[in-house]
Amino acid sequence: MIDWWFGWHLPFTERYALWHPTAHVRSVVKEDRSHVIDDRGKYIGNVSYVDEYIGASLKRLAIAFVPPSLFGLNQLDARHATAICAYTSDWLMRGEGGCLVHYVLPTAKGSQMRSAFWLGEIRHHHALVDQALHGVLNSRLVRRLIVSDRMALDLLQHCGEEMNHLARFLPSLYADMNPLERSMLA
């Protein structure tokens, strides 16, 4: 269901806004893969360019989805668990600054998502700029300015809000959008 959600909502701002109606402003994908049958194939290897509020600040992010194996998650059984993995960057500044994992496991009552974010290893997308500025960008002072405690707390709150909201509507949306699967489960 989570893999379906990531493949289904990415190309459309209206769908992206369902996830966090007050914070999600805009979503555009590098490549519209709506026609791809495999849910994971719709988002893994693709980039989502989003505008969203994290706290009071509007962030313009590029979220580059990658196979879970790049993060060391090699033994996932897709029938029971999934991991959404991505590198995140500021698409205006062209600098990568973090990674995320949303790891979903089955439970007796449905599923549980564990999210992790790694922030602060700043790399510029242009090799020459990165080579020239890597040391400065990753100094303690600059990291504290870019990834402040306030930003981390705002991200924690944002993630909690969007995932709790998603849990309220995703099961019924998924059932409505996948009637054949629902009839097989009945």
- Reported as a single tens digit per residue, the pLDDT across 14-67 is 999 999 999 999 999 999 999 999 999 999 999 999 999 999 999 999 999 999
pLDDT of the residue at 93: 66
With 0.85 as the threshold, say if the pTM is over it. yes
What is the band of 170 on the pLDDT scale with cuts at 50, 70, 90? very high
More confident: 109 or 125? 109
Q: Evaluate the CA torsion angle 63, 5, 35, 66 in order and state its sign.
A: positive
Q: Are 41 and 33 in contact (CB under 8 A)?
A: yes
Distance of CA 99 to the CA centre of its chain: 9
Residues 6+ apart with CB under 8 A from 53: 22, 23, 25, 59, 158
pLDDT of the residue at 34: 93
Span of 55-59, 80-84, 93-97 with lowest mean pLDDT: 93-97
Q: φ and ψ at 161, to 5 degrees? A: -65, -50
Where exactly are the structural domains of the chain?
A: 2-179
Residue 78 has pLDDT above 90, yes or no: no
Residues 6+ apart with CB under 8 A from 56: 154
CATH code assigned to 2-179: 3.30.530
pLDDT of the residue at 54: 96
Q: Are 163 and 20 in contact (CB under 8 A)?
A: no
Report d(CA 98, CA 13) in Å as an integer: 23
The percentage of residues in the chain with a pLDDT greater than 90, rounded to a whole number, is 63
Beta strand residue intervals within 78-153, DSSP E: 82-90, 95-107, 110-124
